[in-house]
Amino acid sequence: MRKIVVIFDPAAARVWQVDLLQRLRAANYRVGVRHDPVAENTGHRLDLVLALEARRFDTGLATRVPSPPPDPIEEPDLLIDLTGQVGHGSSPRLGLAFNGQPSFAEGLSQMLATGELPVVTTTLAGKTVGIARPMLSDLTWLTRASNDMLAGAISLVEQGVARFFAGVLAPVETPAAGPAVSGFLRHYVPHLAGRVAGRLGQKLRRGRPFYWQTAFRISDGADIAATTCLDGLPFTTLEDDGQRFYADPFVVKHNGQIHLFVEEYPYATGRGVISVATLGADGRFGAPRVILEEPYHLSYPQVFSHGGEMYMLPESGGARRLVLYRATSFPDRWEVDTVLMDDLDINDATLLQRDGRYWLFGTERRGSGSASDTLVVFYAPELRGPWSPHRLNPIAIDRSAARPGGAFIERDGRTFLPLQDGQDSYGGGLGLAELLRLDDDAVVLGAPVPIRAGAAWARKGIHTLNRAAGVEVVDSAG
């Protein structure tokens, strides 16, 4: 059994570090604990803010906890140093930095002072070997921002450990880091005031709680995947009644008819259902009708043909399961065919058949982290499974290039995956990443090429892109 020792500062342990220890042990490593006290601890002012926020949010990943007791292991294969200090020894040592700073508290101060988004890095032998760019769902409250950032840190260490033992952990380009800053509260107070004021203004301007729009166009000409621009023929909005919105559009042609599948989100229930609209002779889709509803939220209705039958693989991450449905009377009636995965929060799982295997790309929400920044890949010999995780999961932790935003696109012998860009906000943009390698030993995607704004859909970015039978569909926030 491979042996790991995790090094703690006994006076400065936090929940995320204990969670990491438990994750590594659950992954069947032999994991020990070592204490290396640090002369001067940081983060006391951060702890004060977190204690105040705990009255609203309870504790989070950044909360201080007692350090696990020492559990020595002789001759470990790998050290994981959580103290932020420069260590020496014969065993390889994996270290962490937050926005270029040696501790989480210092990295968070850096973010507040400069407005930078979080970047977590791992180092080995003085070289950067891993980068995570966690997505922050809430910049106002430090408890929530810390949860997202530290969940990304846990995933990055897990990624580094998997790649180290696979013999593929290699140096990567090091992101530039600004000079260290000081004075946590001096930066936190104006940050909080600005964020709260911004939220109040947003609530006053907003007509709906939140809003998405789906749009379509019919064209046999160049599509967005070819031009990477929202130009050409204008899109037509799929109208709603103001009591709901439509998002995550997928389009399919079956028995001579073209059907548009969407997530329908009624504000009254606060839970997504799957609906369908059929293209009429006038070139427009009628009002979507509900075809699939569960006690939990459904979205991302990926519909496809397999073995002469029609299937749907919607997202149901909130229920911690991934369910394959089969049409009993297409497109209106569906039944559960197979539960592909259970006890996993997988988001926007996107199917690809290649080289005699089935592959699923999606993001995984791990604990209290984001649902949109951690790319994982699974494979199976048959559609119904059994499904196994890729041995190098997580493949990436990146707010700008992890969560799928539509079905795979085949073009000129090349394969592309739409990936959501959440750097500014969820639903803020979409890019096309080429799949360069996919096998047991590696999953390699090229850098996404952003889809640029254009007159065909004059809204802020797009979030989903799909096309079939000359009908192209997109959606966007607001």
Pair 31, 149 in one domain: yes
- What domain count does the chain have? 2
User: 305 pairs with which residues across the strands?
Assistant: 310
Domain boundary among 178, 203, 228: 203
Pair 305, 290 in one domain: yes
Task: Please state, as a whole number, how many other Cβ atoms lie within 10 Å of the Cβ of residue 194.
Answer: 12
Give the pLDDT score at 116. Answer: 87
Closest CA to 158 of 6, 293, 310: 6
Domain boundary among 203, 230, 254: 203
pLDDT over threshold 70, residue 187 = yes
pLDDT band at 285 (very low <50, low <70, confident <90, very high): very high
Question: Which whole number is the average pLDDT over 347-354?
Answer: 97
Pair 192, 231 in one domain: no
Segment 241-265, tens digit of pLDDT: 999 999 999 999 999 999 999 999 9
Which sign, positive or negative, has the C-alpha torsion 280, 327, 303, 240? positive
Domain boundary among 156, 172, 203: 203
Pair 82, 151 in one domain: yes
What is the residue-averaged pLDDT of the chain? Answer: 92
The CATH number covering residue 16 comes to: 3.40.50
Domain span at 72: 3-203
Beginning with the edge strand found earlier in the chain, give each strand of the sheet holding 321-329 in spatial order: 299-306, 309-315, 321-329, 333-342
Pair 181, 225 in one domain: no
Q: CB of 27 within 8 A of CB of 115? A: no
Pair 195, 213 in one domain: no
Pair 197, 219 in one domain: no
Give the pLDDT score at 206. Answer: 57
Give the pLDDT score at 387. Answer: 98
Give the pLDDT score at 209. Answer: 67
Pair 72, 135 in one domain: yes
Pair 147, 244 in one domain: no
Residue the block writes with tokens 């260290």: 180
pLDDT band at 138 (very low <50, low <70, confident <90, very high): confident
Pair 46, 189 in one domain: yes
Distances, alpha carbon 364 to alpha carbons 53, 98, 255, 294, 361, in Å: 26, 22, 35, 21, 10
Pair 193, 80 in one domain: yes
Q: CB of 110 within 8 A of CB of 100? A: yes
Q: What percent of the chain has a predicted confidence (pLDDT) above 70?
A: 95
Residues 6+ apart with CB under 8 A from 240: 213, 246
Distance separating alpha carbons of residues 471 and 217, to the nearest angstrom: 6
Pair 103, 221 in one domain: no
Cis peptide before 314 (omega within 30 of 0): no
Distance separating alpha carbons of residues 362 and 359, to the nearest angstrom: 10
The CATH number covering residue 412 comes to: 2.115.10.20
Segment 118-128, tens digit of pLDDT: 999 999 998 99
